[in-house]
């Protein structure tokens, strides 16, 4: 294994660092080999950059160095190709000293009080700070509240490095260049190539932004420079809160339409024929993923510091958080219509992932729904082609094994929570006693067995 003492990077001027970015000679370190960091590492490796992936999980490091993948949408061939370009993974943060740029892509979840949990960011920054050198570029990509880069990251970097390095401000060329650039990953979506998604960058100093723009410009077709890290941080929140609010709107309208016996999906399809002023959003059993369910609470928490309450945003979060409970009520009602009680019923949940055709459990409404069903006395099984087992996480403790899709008639209800494209919904409806569909996956199937909610 290479060590920092033998391979420490030589400090470069900003002009030299920009030139090394443009010539693909710069060493790029990416901390966090998850759903954001690993795809980013492969993009850089694809442009011939020498990339080092850092992660505290020894199993991830071993898997990557063996040329294998633990993310469904990333093939082992992609890892092997990156290795030929110089990619390797490590848990040794001393190798940070050999990097020209370090990009932080670690989780920023909520704690049990729905307040920001910055432990991963804080732990990472403390781990890299002792290994910094003058002229290094440090980028935070983790979604967070406005002010994090300057209020949390910069002090930790400045106080934790033994050289007394400071974050470069204004047009300063010396020091550590600290930048925020929000990730814009969309797991499972391939309609837009990653390189075509513009990259937003905002830094503590103008020089750092220019260096970051040169680095990201090597892999993205467009870089958007903004005036500060806080602007870039708020940009990410706006993007996701926009989605959160609109999803809450259609989730609420769905419940009203059900009472009025109107098909909300038919309404949305008709509305989206308007060529201006409308963007289609769709209802579901609740929000999942690392950003949309979390970002409203990040901003609401920060707003309290300024004696401001984000009432509209908080309401949207409450509507979306209530959707698993709405699903529970609909399951109970559908069973009741068939002279059955939820307690003692056998329920098969289809789909654990938070959205279609991905292997991502983060904040998935399926997890909450399963726990609610269990607490209500139902006997619950699940099927998901991406998860042979599900154990314990930050907010769930299920310890379940995937059930094969056979003998569906032995269940009192089959509950579609994630509409994976691999499911044969026609067969599922034919074989099941009752199908409760939260995703409109059975659209076009006319059967008294189907209840859509």
- C-alpha angle 237-240-245 in degrees, rounded to nearest 5: 110
Q: In terms of domains, do 179 and 99 share one? A: yes
* CATH code for the domain of 260: 3.40.50.720
Contact (Cβ atoms closer than 8 angstroms) between residue 317 and residue 309: no
H helix and E strand count, the chain: 16, 15
* Radius of gyration from C-alpha coordinates of the chain: 24
Euclidean distance between CA atoms 437 and 443, whole angstroms: 9
What's the total number of domains in the chain?
A: 3
Identify the bridge partners of residue 29 per DSSP, sorted by sequence position. 52, 102
Q: In terms of domains, do 306 and 349 share one? A: no
Check residue 293 and give its pLDDT: 78
Q: In terms of domains, do 15 and 156 share one? A: yes
395: tokens are 């907010």
Mind telling me the catalytic residues?
291
- Identify the domain boundary among 306, 321, 336: 321
Q: In terms of domains, do 52 and 171 share one? A: yes
Contact (Cβ atoms closer than 8 angstroms) between residue 273 and residue 280: no
Euclidean distance between CA atoms 101 and 306, whole angstroms: 34
Q: In terms of domains, do 262 and 178 share one? A: no
Q: In terms of domains, do 333 and 262 share one? A: no
Euclidean distance between CA atoms 208 and 202, whole angstroms: 9
- Identify the domain boundary among 298, 321, 344: 321
Q: In terms of domains, do 8 and 152 share one? A: yes
In the Cβ-directed half-sphere of 453, how many Cα atoms lie within 13 Å? 20
Check residue 222 and give its pLDDT: 97
122: tokens are 């804080």
Phi/psi region, residue 3 (left: phi>0; alpha: psi -120 to 50; beta: rest), is beta
Q: In terms of domains, do 67 and 121 share one? A: yes
Tens-digit pLDDT string for the chain (453 aa): 343 333 566 678 999 999 999 999 999 999 999 999 999 999 999 999 999 999 999 999 999 999 999 999 899 999 999 999 999 999 999 999 999 999 999 999 888 777 889 999 999 999 999 999 999 999 999 999 999 999 999 999 999 999 999 999 999 999 999 999 999 988 766 667 889 999 999 999 999 999 999 999 999 999 999 999 999 999 999 999 999 999 999 999 999 999 999 999 999 999 999 999 999 999 999 988 777 778 888 899 999 999 999 999 999 999 999 999 999 999 999 999 999 999 999 999 999 999 999 999 988 999 999 999 999 999 999 999 999 999 887 678 899 999 999 999 999 999 999 999 999 999 999 999 999 999 999 999 999 999 999
Check residue 130 and give its pLDDT: 97
Euclidean distance between CA atoms 38 and 50, whole angstroms: 14
- The packing angle between helices 229-260 and 311-321, to 10°, is 50
Q: In terms of domains, do 223 and 234 share one? A: no
Length of the chain in residues, anyone?
453
Q: In terms of domains, do 302 and 410 share one? A: no
Q: In terms of domains, do 106 and 55 share one? A: yes
Cα–Cα distances (Å) from 315 to 108, 114, 309, 438, in that order, read 22, 14, 11, 22
Contact (Cβ atoms closer than 8 angstroms) between residue 42 and residue 80: no
Cα–Cα distances (Å) from 15 to 85, 205, 212, 301, in that order, read 25, 15, 12, 39
Phi/psi region, residue 188 (left: phi>0; alpha: psi -120 to 50; beta: rest), is left
Q: Which long-range contacts (CB under 8 A, 24 or more apart) does 110-114 make?
A: 110/294, 110/297, 110/298, 114/297, 114/301
20: tokens are 């090394």
Count Cβ atoms within 10 A of the Cβ of residue 224 and give its class: 0-12 exposed, 13-18 middle, 19 or more buried.
Answer: middle
Euclidean distance between CA atoms 437 and 420, whole angstroms: 12
Check residue 2 and give its pLDDT: 40
Residues near 452 by beta carbon (within 8 Å), at least 6 away in sequence: 437, 438, 440, 442
In the Cβ-directed half-sphere of 145, how many Cα atoms lie within 13 Å? 19
Domain boundaries, position 67: 4-227
Q: In terms of domains, do 268 and 216 share one? A: no
- Identify the domain boundary among 289, 321, 353: 321
Check residue 189 and give its pLDDT: 67
Contact (Cβ atoms closer than 8 angstroms) between residue 173 and residue 13: yes
Residues near 277 by beta carbon (within 8 Å), at least 6 away in sequence: none
Check residue 7 and give its pLDDT: 56
Cα–Cα distances (Å) from 58 to 22, 128, 337, 389, in that order, read 33, 18, 51, 21
CB atoms within 10 A of CB 453: 21
Cα(first)–Cα(last) distance of the chain, in Å? Answer: 55
248: tokens are 């809450």
């Amino acid at each position: 294994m290479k060590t920092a003492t033998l391979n420490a990077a030589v400090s470069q001027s900003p002009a030299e660092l920009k030139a090394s970015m443009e010539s693909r000679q710069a060493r790029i370190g990416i901390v966090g080999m998850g759903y954001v960091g690993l795809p980013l590492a492969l993009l850089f490796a694809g442009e011939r950059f020498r990339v080092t992936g850092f992660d505290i999980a020894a199993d991830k490091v071993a898997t990557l160095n063996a040329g294998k993948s633990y993310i469904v949408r990333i093939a082992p061939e992609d890892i092997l190709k990156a290795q030929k370009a110089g990619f390797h993974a490590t848990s040794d943060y001393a190798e940070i000293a050999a990097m020209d740029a370090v990009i932080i892509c670690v989780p920023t979840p909520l704690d049990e009080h729905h307040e920001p949990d910055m432990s991963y960011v804080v732990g990472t920054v403390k781990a890299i700070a002792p290994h910094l050198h003058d002229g290094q570029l440090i980028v935070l990509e983790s979604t967070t509240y406005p002010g994090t880069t300057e209020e949390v990251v910069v002090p930790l970097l400045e106080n934790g490095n033994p050289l007394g390095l400071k974050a470069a401000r204004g047009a300063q060329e010396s020091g550590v260049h600290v930048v925020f650039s929000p990730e814009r990953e969309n797991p499972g979506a391939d309609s837009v190539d990653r390189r075509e998604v513009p990259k937003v960058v905002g830094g503590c100093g103008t020089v750092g932004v220019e260096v970051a723009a040169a680095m990201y410009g090597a892999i993205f077709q467009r870089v958007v420079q903004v005036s500060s890290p806080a602007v870039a941080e708020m940009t990410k929140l706006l993007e996701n809160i926009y989605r959160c609010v609109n999803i809450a709107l259609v989730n609420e309208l769905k419940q009203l339409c059900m009472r009025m016996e109107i098909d909300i999906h038919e309404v949305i399809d008709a509305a989206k024929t308007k060529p201006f002023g409308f963007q289609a959003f769709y209802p579901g059993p609740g929000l999942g993923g690392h950003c949309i369910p979390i970002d409203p609470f990040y901003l609401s928490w920060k707003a309290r510091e300024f004696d401001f309450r984000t009432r509209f945003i908080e309401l949207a979060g409450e509507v979306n958080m209530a959707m698993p409970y709405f699903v529970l009520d609909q399951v109970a009602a559908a069973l009741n219509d068939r002279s059955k009680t939820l307690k003692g019923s056998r329920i098969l949940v289809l789909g654990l992932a938070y959205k279609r055709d991905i292997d991502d459990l983060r904040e998935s409404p399926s997890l909450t729904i399963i726990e609610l069903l269990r607490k209500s006395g139902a006997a619950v099984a699940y099927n998901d082609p991406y998860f042979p087992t599900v154990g314990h996480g930050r907010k769930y403790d299920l310890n379940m094994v995937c059930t094969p899709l056979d003998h569906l008639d032995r269940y009192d209800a089959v509950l579609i929570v994630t509409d994976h494209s691999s499911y044969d919904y026609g067969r599922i409806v034919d074989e099941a006693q009752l199908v409760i569909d939260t995703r409109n996956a059975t659209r076009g199937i006319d059967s008294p067995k189907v209840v859509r909610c």
